Homo-oligomer: A and B are copies of this chain.
């Protein structure tokens, strides 16, 4: 997949004048076409490609994440859903409305719910994942998929500090919607949920209002709700060798039954509530000591600037390490974790307040790794046991999902009216799992 945004002009170019003429309709027709009128047109990221978008794509500002349970027992219905989601995702990520211009009339519900009409693509990406319970639940095979589950795909173990809400944990499917406009991200999840009515229901969902990671060297480092820069040492799109080593699942590490995941990834989702009020009463010295970096610039306490490598061996005048042994930056560093790295894509969240007036706020942690058994579980075990920062954190929701590779590039065919033409042969997300 290219990181370049698809030019809307280029997309329209394929369809020619037909697409523009379509925008002159009225009523239902007008609605279906309004998002491609070009009035507010910007570029979008292509949905199709070798890998799914929304992983190495420069982290967008806003998030709506949803986990779904499949409510049907029909394998065909599940496949139909994934086909319909693929079509809708291709439309919405390029700034078009769901459904074709002529699909619905005045006496039917509009194919698209409408709140994103007139808005550009806003950098929307939609990233789909499969939970362990899609393959097997309570000991029973589901959809004939039991034998296709990758070994690494199972419920995450309990970590100390976990206080998970069962209603906000796991799920058969997940969709990560990222966009620079939250209205566009919320619209996307809502329309996917609507398409899935009768086949899936939303199990839990989470909005994130501000990114806490950078996935490209072109982005500046944002801050989490502890007030610290977050994601300085993240794996970035430009580090292609490290992406191969740490993010994409390699074909040669998969058994034939799970070969469908080659070129995909694993998504770890954790809702981490922060004890904001307690944190805000600790001294700057203690805050920086717990993190291991300065608050202003984000430099390691061993010196330098934000992007200086931390020097863990350095000691101060008192003979103690400048970066404490129980600091977050040390415990999370690759040197303490067999060299593993993660591609993080987290978001700050605030969900109102609790009954004591404390903000229900924190970090919705999202990370893509090639294997959670080597790239997440050992690190999180160490952090939850030794990281002094854990005093200020509670993990309240959790999910692990296998993220299939992208829908092949070049498989998108546009009809004369500019909407995708799909047939029973059109590729869809996760298709390899059902082959």
Min CB gap A213→B, angstroms? 14
Q: State whether A209 touches B210 (Cβ < 8 A).
A: no
Q: State whether A107 touches B223 (Cβ < 8 A).
A: no
Min CB gap A187→B, angstroms? 9
Pick the residue among B116, B206, B297, B348 that contacts A352 (CB under 8 A): B206
Taken together as a complex, chains A and B put the C-alpha atoms of A26 and B194 apart, in Å, by 52
Q: State whether A359 touches B193 (Cβ < 8 A).
A: yes
Pick the residue among B34, B62, B285 that contacts A209 (CB under 8 A): B62
How many A residues, CB 8 Å from partner?
74
Q: State whether B108 touches A357 (Cβ < 8 A).
A: no
Taken together as a complex, chains A and B put the C-alpha atoms of A114 and B291 apart, in Å, by 14
With A193-B359, A351-B352 as contacts: A227 and B295 at CB distance below 8 Å: no
| Residues of B close to A115: CB separation below 8 A | 223-227, 348
Taken together as a complex, chains A and B put the C-alpha atoms of A149 and B186 apart, in Å, by 41
A167 within 8 A of B: yes
| Residues of B close to A284: CB separation below 8 A | 27-28, 31, 104-110
Min CB gap A192→B, angstroms? 12
Q: State whether A348 touches B186 (Cβ < 8 A).
A: yes
Pick the residue among B109, B206, B280, B359 that contacts A282 (CB under 8 A): B109
Q: State whether A114 touches B205 (Cβ < 8 A).
A: no
A-B residue pairs in contact (CB < 8 Å), sample of 18: A31-B284, A107-B284, A109-B284, A115-B224, A115-B226, A116-B223, A117-B223, A117-B227, A167-B355, A182-B209, A186-B348, A186-B350, A186-B361, A202-B353, A202-B358, A203-B357, A207-B207, A351-B351
4 nearest A-B residue pairs (beta carbon): A114-B227, A201-B357, A182-B209, A30-B296
